[in-house]
Amino acid sequence: MTSGLSIIKRLYKDYTKNYVNKIFYSFVLSVIVAGSTSLIAYLLDPAIKKIFIEKDQTLIYLIPIVIIIAFAAKGTSLYFARSIMIRVAHQVKADVQKDMVKTLLAADTKFIDKRHTGKFISNLTVDVGMLVNLISTAILNIFKDTLTLVGLLGVMFYQNWKLSMMAIVMIPLASIAARSLGKRMTKISKEMLESASFFTTHLVEIFKNHKLMKSFQNENFEQIRSKKQIDEMKEKSGKMNVVLVRATPIMETLTGIMIAALIFYSGILINNNELDINNFFSFLAAMMLAYQPVRSLATLNIAVNQGLTAARRVLPLIDVQNEIKDDPNSSDLEITNGNVNFKNVNFNYDKDKNIVLNSVNLNIKGGKMTALVGHSGSGKSTILNLIPRFYDCDDGDILIDNQSIYGKSLYSLRKNISLVSQETTLFDDTIKNNVAYAKQNASEQDIKLVCKNSFASEFIEKLPNKYDTIIGENGVRLSGGEKQRLSIARAMLKSSPIILLDEATSSLDSETESKIQNAINMLTKNRTTIVIAHRLSTVLKADKIYVVDTGKIIAEGNHEYLLSNSETYKNFYNKQINKI
């Protein structure tokens, strides 16, 4: 486990170092807070001696005015010091979140697939929020309370060193008590963050699958599950807050004992003429004012441990190293014909599980349509995912126009590939912005043209806001056929020479089916197209067909040849015929 000191150094180097000027201003203001607090305690000495004992009328106005100024300076300086640190903390929070988002956006598909979306959301919100407390609270308290305590100790020693030596014993006693609470806080903070992560994950699942939940009438079941997780989170959060306030009775008891002992000893000193009453009240005021910084510094490790616990969950995400990245000597991919070749490609998602692709060899001609046919789980989708390097093969090579994709930049590779997946993915945005996602600088004319060619304009023009219509999360306000046509329009706008198409398995009415097929024909015309075929019409149009079974290519050829020579393909064909 990474040590606390190394985490603090890392946070300073990467984040707080950028705001040293603002932190310095907060430090200067903390000096004013400490000075004014110490001045308030000291002023009780001349106030009692000059005004109440010696009845000096010249100071009856001056000392109260100075006290007012000291309190005003303390309050104003504390306000600005806290405001500065709050702004710094939230800026650091934004910086950490930006780094996390940057990492997650560039992360390997394999890494994203292994964790639930809800856990990433919890890391970005709850964990980072707790990490900010380490900066906003801890740094300011170290400045303000240390300086204040030093100033007040100076007043106490000035008034009477014997009493001060007694009072100073309280500091290590408070620290010992708080240290045990800090260890307890580390464990509870980790449990609370994990509980919040599970709850966020559960919420994402509920909202994502709310129709499924309703269709199976599982509202009560999900309510019970939610209640259980909320209660667990409440318990963890409650424990954490109880530990935070657990220091209060310890500190109050220690303070009571200390004050009682000081009053007893002060009485002896006053009776022996070793301490004047004005010195005692000034000392007592300084000691009472020192209670807050002592308590704050003693319990500072609790806030630090909370922040370190969150940092141990956040920083590893920022530090994730991608397996899929550009080679240092990579160059841009140059497309001439669009030929795609697999050479003895082996692949496995997890090293300890069965191989997914085994010695796969493909020769895909540029500008032609190649179909992949096979049972579910045979490896067809994996073949498609390897081409844009969502995953890298374990052995073998993939070439485009005799250029290994592993020696080419990811940007130039993916720029030349358009993916139309089986599960249409859309954003909760306007139709125009969803289509323009393929080409951010596309003109409105270009967007309308591809929508027309994909037959999407037919339903778009009927909508009240047309291209400015918000379609909801993942296009929930559109039908399946409408979403598919928008997905095809988006691929058309990108105008890539290589098309990866995973046909939707959902059934559509004959008219919509025809429009989508016509749109696909326009999308794939004169382009290298690799399609996972689920429909007989697609297979019949393919220039070449590969039959995939348990990660191997067991047959290849055109429709007529495979019908005569491949039992697997023949079974696929017969099933499609029976559907008609």
Average pLDDT in the chain: 83
Q: Cβ atoms within 10 A of the Cβ of 218, count?
A: 15
Contact 73, 32 (CB under 8 A): yes
Q: At what angle do helices 170-208 and 277-298 cross, to 10 degrees?
A: 40
Name the residue among 513, 533, 90, 134 with its Cα closest to residue 303.
134
Strand order in the sheet with 403-404: 357-364, 340-347, 395-400, 403-404
Indicate the pLDDT class of residue 340, thresholds 50, 70 and 90.
Answer: very high
| pLDDT(327) > 70 | yes
Mean of the pLDDT values across residues 379-407? Answer: 90
Show the DSSP H helices in 466-535 as ranges: 480-494, 510-524
Percent of the chain surpassing pLDDT 90: 10
CA distances from 108 to 259, 322, 325, 382, 391 (A): 62, 6, 9, 15, 8
| pLDDT(337) > 60 | yes
Read off the pTM.
0.80
pLDDT in tens, 536-552: 777 788 889 998 888 88
Contact 305, 186 (CB under 8 A): yes
Mean of the pLDDT values across residues 47-76? Answer: 84
Q: Which CB contacts under 8 angstroms, 24+ apart, belong to 409-416?
A: 409/326, 409/330, 409/331, 409/332, 409/333, 410/324, 410/325, 410/326, 411/332, 412/332, 412/333, 413/333, 413/388, 413/389, 414/388, 414/389, 415/496, 416/333, 416/335, 416/496, 416/497, 416/498
pLDDT at 187: 72
| pLDDT(579) > 60 | no
Q: Please tell me the least confidently modeled range out of 149-158, 192-201, 491-500, 519-528.
A: 192-201
Q: Give the domains, in start order, of the chain with CATH numbers.
A: 4-318 (1.20.1560.10), 339-416+496-506+529-580 (3.40.50.300)
pLDDT in tens, 158-199: 888 888 888 777 667 666 666 666 666 667 777 777 787 777
> How far, in Å, CA of 471 to CA of 477, rounded?
5
Indicate the pLDDT class of residue 401, thresholds 50, 70 and 90.
Answer: very high
Q: For residues 475 and 380, which has the higher predicted lDDT (pLDDT)?
A: 380
| pLDDT(504) > 70 | no
| pLDDT(343) > 90 | yes
pLDDT at 344: 92
Mean of the pLDDT values across residues 392-398? Answer: 90
pLDDT at 507: 55
Sign of CA dihedral 186, 191, 192, 194: positive
pLDDT in tens, 30-42: 999 999 988 888 8
Spacing of C-alpha 313 from chain mean position: 10
pLDDT in tens, 216-243: 677 788 788 878 888 887 887 777 777 7
